[in-house]
Amino acid sequence: MSLEIQDNEVDIVIAALQPNLTALFEAWRPFFSRFHIIVVKDPDLAEELQIPSGFDLKVYTKSDIGVLGATSIDFSGHSCRYFGYLVSRKKYVISIDHNCLPAKDNGGLTVDAVSQHMSNLKTPATPKFFNTLYDPFREGADFVRGYPFSWRDGVECMLSCGLWLHNADYDPMTHVVKRNQRNTAYVDAVMTVPYGVMMPMSGINVAFNREVLGPVMAPALRLRKEGKHRWDTLEDVWNGMCAKVVCDSLGYGVKTGLPYVIRSDAEAGEALESLKEWEGVKVMDAVHPFFKSLELSGNATTVEDCIKELTSIVRKELGPKNAIFAKAVDAMEEWTKLWKSHGIHSA
């Protein structure tokens, strides 16, 4: 990728759910060191953070979050990263979980996840029609025979969802059932998720255009007993579906695939503990059919207007099914206000 990335157009956001970030920062040093890094410390975490020197970095803690005043949004656990999205002043944000290290590609080269995410965001997405040879803008690729010429310009990509080697992002059931399974398949592809198609976005390794999508990138859906493991959460999956609906409505693109990161081991025993109280199956059984049939009117021309429409539909259709959906809508509405007061402007 010969794509040019300006240092001042990207922030890296790291959610600190555990104190020792030394291994994380040392492993990512070659790729992170030119960028500003926002570390948001889980407000539930008491210990001091350990971060090696040599980075342009700012740590935000419970007291910084407190500046927002009374808010219905819960920034604890994995949701603390969203505070970083709010205080960033850059056009793009990249967020990678604390237990993820750089992966190697099929040729043994270490993957620069920053560069790959930026390439995904800066080259067009093609959501109207599926290109069988995957990303047509990749070097050596193109649109195949039969791909409509009038759709080859594509649209702007707003969201880039990366993947994970070794420990895949499974729900607690799958972690328990397949406790020894590790993902070793490095699939060398990026693809646009077509219009109208929903996918479960993972917040583990993700990048987006903050200027445009910021108002919808909120920690809205929280399970009642949410722990500190990824499998405890669905906030990112919900967020991804909201973002996808908004992108579909406004004519923006969403990509998935490269870059991979390597995720450290899950502990199946802990997954079993989570599972005992996990309401995720029940919740998502309501969420999926809802999003499957959801289509915004197309009248909204801004992300904010799309959210207004979306929250009103969610409140009406999902609200009565489970109190956590009403809470999610509250959080989304609160977020758009926070975005106006504390977010918005890029550098």
Q: Which residues bind a copy of itself (CB under 8 A)?
A: 106, 128-134, 138, 140-151, 161, 163, 168-171, 174, 178, 181-189, 193-194, 196-202, 230-231, 234, 237, 240, 256, 281, 284-285, 287-288, 292
Phi–psi pair at 115, nearest 5 degrees? -60, -40
Q: Which is nearer to a copy of itself, 134 or 339 (CB)?
A: 134
Contact 290, 245 (CB under 8 A): no
Amino acid letter, 25: F
Which H/E stretch holds residue 330?
Answer: helix 323-342
Phi–psi pair at 217, nearest 5 degrees? -90, 70
The least distance separating a copy of itself from the CB of residue 138, rounded to whole angstroms, comes to: 8
Q: Which is nearer to a copy of itself, 69 or 108 (CB)?
A: 108
Q: Which is nearer to a copy of itself, 5 or 310 (CB)?
A: 310
Q: Which is nearer to a copy of itself, 211 or 235 (CB)?
A: 235
The least distance separating a copy of itself from the CB of residue 172, rounded to whole angstroms, comes to: 9
The least distance separating a copy of itself from the CB of residue 40, rounded to whole angstroms, comes to: 22
Contact 3, 115 (CB under 8 A): yes
Half-sphere exposure of 157 (CA within 13 A, CB side): 29
The least distance separating a copy of itself from the CB of residue 62, rounded to whole angstroms, comes to: 27
Q: Which is nearer to a copy of itself, 198 or 318 (CB)?
A: 198
Structure tokens at 181: 């399974």
Neighbours of 109 (CB within 10 A): 9
The least distance separating a copy of itself from the CB of residue 32, rounded to whole angstroms, comes to: 24
d(CA 68, CA 281): 33
Q: Which is nearer to a copy of itself, 92 or 170 (CB)?
A: 170
Structure tokens at 347: 């550098």
The least distance separating a copy of itself from the CB of residue 68, rounded to whole angstroms, comes to: 28
**DSSP string of 295-321?**
---S---SHHHHHHHHHHHHHHHTGGG
Q: Which is nearer to a copy of itself, 19 or 136 (CB)?
A: 136
C-alpha to C-alpha distances, 120 to 124, 200, 208, nearest whole angstrom: 8, 18, 10
d(CA 21, CA 49): 7
The least distance separating a copy of itself from the CB of residue 147, rounded to whole angstroms, comes to: 5
Q: Which is nearer to a copy of itself, 62 or 179 (CB)?
A: 179
d(CA 88, CA 346): 8
Closest by CA to 291, choosing from 252, 325, 268, 340, is 325
Structure tokens at 328: 């999610």
The least distance separating a copy of itself from the CB of residue 81, rounded to whole angstroms, comes to: 17
Q: Which is nearer to a copy of itself, 274 or 311 (CB)?
A: 274
The least distance separating a copy of itself from the CB of residue 51, rounded to whole angstroms, comes to: 28
Structure tokens at 54: 């040599």
